[in-house]
């Protein structure tokens, strides 16, 4: 490839460390697409002939078929997918292949191919997130009236509905989609034509290739064009936050499916057994999603470390951007598919949910609120009185609703029998009608909204 300057071949170790074909061959479709657009632009601008362009287009089409049918042979000595395709094109069409590289460098070629690949993967990821959201909305509809404990510090706090809990993850995932969509919008500028780093002296039209490749516009600075990997970092950041949300839900599924909670049952499709304990049903899919978070975090950290000290413009260090990105986004895709399968497949246990919701004096806040509304008591005073009643119920080993009116009045004389209307679980969740609250009627409205958005 650069034999005119060098008198001998690279050492085999140099070839081993330098070659990227083992992983960047995944960019073949984007590379061929970019090359076709570049050749068409060169022909439009009279920089190559129409016959040369036709030969290039046909040759690249033939190579695409060879790759997709497993007939394409790659060579590590040619380093990467870009040079492998160019070499094969030369074998197929001869001299016109040598004109394809006019007014471009591997630097802008690689940046363009990788942007196209990341953009394609973002589109896949956004669709997969939407599928997971739909599965969670379906579960929310099933459990819209199921009462369960809401936790803070993993301690029973206030009753909520199962549907409300499911929709919390739908909201998180919507923000995740937004981050990917925003990253896609920002990356959608075309580096092709920036050449090695300084642009080109050929009279090219970068708007033509931008339009052909679906970019909004060409990049405005050639130095930045070939040295930018912000688009990968942003995408990995979005992936990291998404996998945090997946990991949090995975953790809850691990807890909820345990014998101690029994909130949900996971089917045989997403659990495994034990080699020694025949009774076990292990939530391995959820555990692996929780663990794979580390791989995605590591990818972002690795690329940040690569990029942090690089002067402008391109350095070979940047070849390390692809393996970690491929692995991270493959991992995210698998995690999303597995989580969607579990979300579709899990069965909530309303009896266990309700029993747990009634423990831990979870309606204590309702009692304090009643004291404020009915007796015009300052909230801090109501909080103190309610705490005394909780202590009394705890000493008697009963719930707040099991205390007698006389017991209540021994702490606060103004309490009336109406207080018992707020102490039941259903009364508690039904009362939470503020926008965003857990009341079933609120949840039904949100379910309808999400169904419309996700259709």
Report pLDDT for 46: 98
* Range of lowest pLDDT (360-364, 365-369, 394-398): 360-364
More confident call, 198 vs 10:
198
pLDDT more than 70, % of the chain: 96
Instruction: Say if residue 9's pLDDT is above 90.
Output: no
Provide the mean pLDDT of the chain: 93
Specify the DSSP element, H or E, that contains 400. Answer: none
Instruction: Say if residue 143's pLDDT is above 90.
Output: yes
Report pLDDT for 424: 83
pLDDT more than 90, % of the chain: 83
Average pLDDT on 28-51 reads: 98
In which band, very low, low, confident or very high, does the pLDDT at 266 lie, cut at 50, 70 and 90? very high
Cα–Cα distances (Å) from 151 to 137, 139, 161, 389, in that order, read 21, 19, 12, 21
Catalytic residue among 9, 274, 315, 359: 274
Cα–Cα distance, 296 to 20 (Å, whole number): 21
Cα–Cα distance, 315 to 227 (Å, whole number): 8
Note the pLDDT tens digit of each residue in 405-423: 999 999 999 999 999 988 8
Instruction: Say if residue 310's pLDDT is above 80.
Output: yes
More confident call, 316 vs 362:
316
Note the pLDDT tens digit of each residue in 90-99: 999 999 999 9
Catalytic residue among 153, 201, 275, 434: 153
Report pLDDT for 15: 65
Cα 348 to the chain's mean position, in Å? Answer: 25
Average pLDDT on 110-128 reads: 98
Average pLDDT on 209-223 reads: 98
Q: pTM of the prediction?
A: 0.90
Helix (H, G, I), strand (E, B) or coil at 453: helix
Cα-flanking dihedrals φ and ψ of residue 257, to 5°?
Answer: -90, 0
82 catalytic residue (yes or no)? no
In which band, very low, low, confident or very high, does the pLDDT at 60 lie, cut at 50, 70 and 90? very high
Note the pLDDT tens digit of each residue in 324-338: 999 999 999 999 999
Label residue 435 exposed, middle or buried (CB < 10 Å: 0-12, 13-18, 19+). Answer: exposed
Report pLDDT for 8: 58
Report pLDDT for 1: 53
Report pLDDT for 268: 86
Cα–Cα distance, 32 to 61 (Å, whole number): 8
C-beta separation of 213 from 112 below 8 A: yes
**Other Cβ atoms closer than 10 A to 392:** 16
Rg of the chain over CA atoms, in angstroms? 30
410 catalytic residue (yes or no)? no
Report pLDDT for 5: 55
More confident call, 76 vs 36:
36
DSSP 8-state code for residue 272: B
Instruction: Say if residue 10's pLDDT is above 70.
Output: no
Average pLDDT on 47-74 reads: 97
Instruction: Say if residue 278's pLDDT is above 80.
Output: no
């Amino acid at each position: 490839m650069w034999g005119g300057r060098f008198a001998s071949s690279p050492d085999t170790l140099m070839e081993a460390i330098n070659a990227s074909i083992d992983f960047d061959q995944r960019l073949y479709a984007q590379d061929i697409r970019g090359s076709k657009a570049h050749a068409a632009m060169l022909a439009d601008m009279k920089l190559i002939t129409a016959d040369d362009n036709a030969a290039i287009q046909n040759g690249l089409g033939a190579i695409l078929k060879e790759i997709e049918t497993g007939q394409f042979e790659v060579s590590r000595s040619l380093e990467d997918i870009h040079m492998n395709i160019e070499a094969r094109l030369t074998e197929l069409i001869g001299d016109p292949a040598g004109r394809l590289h006019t007014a471009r460098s591997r630097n802008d070629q690689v940046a363009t191919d990788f942007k196209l690949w990341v953009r394609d993967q973002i589109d896949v990821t956004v669709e997969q997130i939407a599928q997971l959201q739909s599965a969670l909305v379906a579960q929310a509809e099933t459990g819209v009236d199921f009462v369960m404990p809401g936790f803070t510090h993993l301690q029973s706090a206030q009753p909520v509905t199962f549907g409300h809990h499911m929709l919390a993850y739908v909201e998180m995932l919507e923000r995740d989609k937004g981050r990917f969509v925003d990253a896609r919008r920002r990356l959608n500028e075309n580096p092709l034509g920036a050449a090695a780093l300084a642009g080109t002296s050929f009279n090219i039209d970068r708007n033509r290739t931008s339009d052909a490749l679906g970019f909004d516009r060409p990049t405005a600075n050639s130095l930045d064009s070939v040295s930018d990997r912000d688009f990968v970092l942003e995408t990995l950041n979005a992936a990291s936050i998404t996998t945090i949300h997946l990991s949090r839900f995975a953790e809850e599924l691990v807890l909820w499916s345990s014998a101690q909670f029994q909130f949900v049952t996971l089917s045989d499709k997403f659990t495994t057994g034990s080699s020694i304990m025949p009774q076990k049903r292990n939530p391995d899919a959820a555990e692996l999603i929780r663990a794979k978070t580390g791989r995605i975090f590591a990818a972002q950290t690795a690329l940040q470390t690569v990029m942090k000290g690089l002067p402008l413009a391109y350095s070979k260090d940047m070849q390390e951007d692809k393996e970690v990105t491929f692995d991270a986004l493959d991992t995210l895709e698998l995690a999303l598919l597995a989580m969607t399968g579990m979300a579709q497949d899990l069965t909530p246990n309303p009896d266990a949910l309700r029993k747990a919701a009634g423990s831990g004096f979870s309606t204590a806040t309702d009692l304090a609120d009643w004291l404020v509304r009915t007796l015009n008591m300052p909230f801090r005073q109501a909080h103190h009185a309610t705490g005394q009643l909780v202590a009394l119920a705890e000493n008697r080993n009963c719930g707040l609703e099991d205390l007698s009116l006389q017991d209540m009045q021994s702490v606060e004389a103004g309490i009336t029998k109406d207080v018992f209307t707020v102490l039941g679980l259903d009364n508690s969740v039904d009362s939470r009608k503020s926008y965003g609250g857990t009341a079933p009627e609120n949840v039904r409205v949100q379910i309808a909204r999400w169904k419309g958005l996700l259709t």
